[in-house]
Structure 1
């Protein structure tokens, strides 16, 4: 009986031991599967965390970039407004300059017309048509230039008879303007003067010619001495170079500079413009 009981006990123990090993093996397998799953999940988690960090950094960059774009947009708006204002001012400046240029051109055209009218009036009033007598108006001053061949013989300061006819016409201009002053300028070429012991050089000759003309104007033609100024310029203000005989003849001249007062000069201009 005891033997039978012992045998049953051993059989039960053997069966129990076999079942335990099997369960342990199953548990170990499940543990391994869980560990594998945990490892896989951990890897995925780490990848997700890395992606999260990258997305977070990208988000921060996009926020900053968006903020910069907003600021830049505001600055561009300000710059565009200022640019438009600057362009408008520049256009206004250009318009003002164009207007000034247009006015200056009109003034120059008018000035040329007035000068021409005044010169024509002077020439017609005294009957001057000789090509050796020039009348010009510059900056409110009338210049009457007479070639020396109409006034003097070569190297002389004695006024010729023909010169007195020309000077009579000049005297008419001066006498018509009793408040004007007139400077009589003598000019020579650069050939040294050697023909008279009284004169030292061309400068002396130019002064002598000036005073000789003034004497004719005052003593013979009734011009007031207080209106006249004697001046000798010698050879030092040539019109052209003195290389040829023709050029030297051009430089030998007497110039009478009529110096009107400004208000009277403009009255004269207005009168001539009305005639036009």
Structure 2
């Protein structure tokens, strides 16, 4: 009997100890679980915080990307505008260069023609100097040659006379030979008379000057075969040429209307 009781007591004690041990283990396990839960909650909170930070960064990056896209779009738009403007400027520059090249070519033609006319004028001037010598007066100015002779030598002392004296025809013959040798030159004969006294002084002097210029023109045409269409005869009154002295001026120059026509055609 005692033995059974003892055995029972031992069994009870084992069960009690075992249960106590199990309870302790359970408490420890619960504590561990609670610790794990707290750690999990802390980790979750950290994850959520990092998620919020990451979301904020994503939003910031998205905003930056959108801003960059907008900036890039504006840059592309400005680049296209700049390219278009640059192309227009390039076209304008090319057009300007073409125009300048054309103008340069036109000016070169005109300059060459002026040089050619100056060379012709100089050559004719040299012929006059060699043919006529130092008398009468010969000048060259603005592309024209002027041979000046005193009217008293050509027409005598009578200021109303418009018949050329025999002694003057020798010089007119030399002038005619130079003019005939240069058929491309235009001729203007200008004579002035300012010694006639009358109520209508200027009118009479113009008439006399014109008659004297025409007399020389007729000699050049009839005796030295100078084409009349090359000659212009003009009379002046007391307005004169260089002074109050009466004189006749034979002006010779390359055909101006041909030069004008050439320039006009070249500038089209």
Residue aligning to 1:253: 247
Instruction: State whether residues 187 and 253 of structure 1, in contact with CA within 8 Å, keep that contact through their aligned partners in structure 2.
Output: yes
* TM-score computed with the length of structure 1 as normaliser: 0.52
Residue aligning to 2:160: 157
Residue range with higher mean Cα deviation, 88-97 or 21-30: 21-30
What 5-or-longer segments of structure 2 have no aligned partner?
A: 1-19, 259-268
Residue aligning to 1:56: 62
Distance 1:138 1:53, change over 3 A: same
Instruction: State whether residues 204 and 232 of structure 1, in contact with CA within 8 Å, keep that contact through their aligned partners in structure 2.
Output: no
CA shift for structure 1 position 119:
3.2
Once the two structures are superposed, residues 95-134 of structure 1 have per-residue CA deviations (whole angstroms, 9 ceiling, x without a partner) of 555554444443333222212222333555xx42245433
CA distance, structure 1, for counterparts of residue 148 and residue 132 of structure 2: 12
Instruction: State whether residues 129 and 138 of structure 2, in contact with CA within 8 Å, keep that contact through their aligned partners in structure 1.
Output: no
Residue aligning to 2:209: 209
Correspondence list, 1:68-87, <5 A: none
1:40 aligns with 2:46: yes
Instruction: State whether residues 171 and 217 of structure 1, in contact with CA within 8 Å, keep that contact through their aligned partners in structure 2.
Output: no
1:196 partner SS: coil
Instruction: State whether residues 155 and 162 of structure 2, in contact with CA within 8 Å, keep that contact through their aligned partners in structure 1.
Output: yes
CA shift for structure 1 position 52:
0.8
Distance 1:20 1:33, change over 3 A: same
CA distance, structure 1, for counterparts of residue 255 and residue 69 of structure 2: 80
Instruction: State whether residues 192 and 237 of structure 2, in contact with CA within 8 Å, keep that contact through their aligned partners in structure 1.
Output: yes
Once the two structures are superposed, residues 24-49 of structure 1 have per-residue CA deviations (whole angstroms, 9 ceiling, x without a partner) of 88877766555444433322211100
CA distance, structure 1, for counterparts of residue 123 and residue 35 of structure 2: 127
* Count of residues in Structure 1 that have an aligned counterpart in Structure 2: 234
Distance 1:98 1:142, change over 3 A: same
Correspondence list, 1:13-24, <5 A: none
Instruction: State whether residues 139 and 146 of structure 2, in contact with CA within 8 Å, keep that contact through their aligned partners in structure 1.
Output: yes
Once the two structures are superposed, residues 183-220 of structure 1 have per-residue CA deviations (whole angstroms, 9 ceiling, x without a partner) of 643336xxxx68623x622452243133246457769x
1:145 to 148, 169, 189: 148
CA distance, structure 1, for counterparts of residue 155 and residue 62 of structure 2: 108
Distance 1:218 1:99, change over 3 A: closer
Select the structure of larger CA radius of gyration. 2
CA distance, structure 1, for counterparts of residue 108 and residue 125 of structure 2: 26
Instruction: State whether residues 187 and 253 of structure 2, in contact with CA within 8 Å, keep that contact through their aligned partners in structure 1.
Output: yes
CA distance, structure 1, for counterparts of residue 67 and residue 24 of structure 2: 64
Residue aligning to 1:108: 114
1:170 to 169, 172, 175: 172
1:156 partner SS: coil
RMSD: 5.8
